[in-house]
Amino acid sequence: MGQEEIEDELLAITKEIGAAIAWEQEIGGTFGLSPSSVQLAPIETEPVAPVPAPSVEPVSLEVLASDAARCTACGLHQGRTQSVFHRGNPNAELAFVGEGPGYHEDQQGLPFVGRAGELLDKMVKAMGYGKGEVYICNVVKCRPPENRTPVLAEAKACEPFLVGQLEIVKPKMIVALGRCAAENLGLTEPGARGWRGKMGEWNKIPVMPTYHPAFLLRSPQFKRQVWGDLQAVMKALGRTPA
């Protein structure tokens, strides 16, 4: 056999071996070796560091107020001059929650600035607080027509704003001004009697439900009862009247 023939023979053998290897790999074999006899080298990989959960910053009162100003979740937005979010100290130990803004509040963008607000400020002063030392807001942020009580759907539409406010402020106590506020803070069922003066809780924060200042303007004979409720609040907070 000449040199040229030998080279052709070797080339043919090499091709046959290559084809056999490819066929074994295709069907999952190990080229004539049993799987138990094949030792695979461990694959080295870089250690994967755990990915921490993203941190979520709490929404600020400013962001909530801005969202409330653009809110169209219920029909009240159609008649508002501006939304009425809050006034007072965002770090207050005592918060007052009313039902909704009236005409003067709608014009100024601040809660409790009309006659009922003047009476509330007198109540706050009698409790030993300065005008800007408490936090004041309402269940709904837009004025209901003719100053009527907000309906359930309107209160539910505004609930995220109220919940957000109170969760950020974290007052030590809340005074619910009127039945609407008491109901929406979960202190009484709609239409139930005997709700005033019965201390309850909202998200583990003590809440005193009492009459709304607007009601007291129409029925001043109930001021003494309200003062009794506020005295209970002061006692719970360790304060004495001014």
SS3 content of the chain, % helix, strand, coil (to 5): 45, 10, 45
CATH number of the domain encompassing residue 218: 3.40.470.10
What's residue 190's pLDDT?
87
Residue 139 lies in a domain: yes
What is the widest separation between alpha-carbon atoms in the chain?
Answer: 130
Q: Would you call 87 helix, strand, or coil by DSSP?
A: strand
Question: For residue 237, is it left (φ>0), alpha (ψ between -120 and 50) or beta?
Answer: alpha
Q: Which of 137, 155, 140 is nearest to 80 (CA)?
A: 140
Residue 9 lies in a domain: no
What's residue 240's pLDDT?
76
What's residue 53's pLDDT?
35
C-alpha of 152 from chain center: 19
Residue 35 lies in a domain: no
Q: pLDDT of the chain along its 242 residues, tens only?
A: 554 454 455 444 444 544 444 433 433 443 333 333 334 344 344 444 443 333 334 589 999 999 999 999 999 999 999 999 999 999 999 999 999 999 999 999 999 999 999 999 999 999 999 989 999 999 999 999 999 999 999 999 999 999 999 999 999 999 999 999 999 999 998 888 999 999 999 999 999 999 999 999 999 999 999 999 999 999 999 987 66
**Residue 137: how many CA atoms within 13 Å on its side-chain side?**
30
What's residue 221's pLDDT?
97
Residue 8 lies in a domain: no
Which distant-in-sequence residues (6+ apart) come within 8 Å of 172 by Cβ? 93, 94, 205, 206, 237
Which distant-in-sequence residues (6+ apart) come within 8 Å of 122 by Cβ? none
Residue 231 lies in a domain: yes
Residue 178 lies in a domain: yes
What's residue 9's pLDDT?
53
Cβ-based burial of 127 (10 A; exposed 0-12, middle 13-18, buried ≥19): buried
Residue 47 lies in a domain: no
The C-alpha angle 22, 28, 31, rounded to 5 degrees, equals 55
Helix axes 152-169, 61-70, angle to 10 degrees: 160
Residue 80 lies in a domain: yes
What's residue 21's pLDDT?
42
Q: Which domain holds residue 121?
A: 67-237
d(CA 180, CA 103): 18
What's residue 2's pLDDT?
52
- Tallying the residues shown for the chain, one arrives at 242
Tally of structural domains, the chain: 1
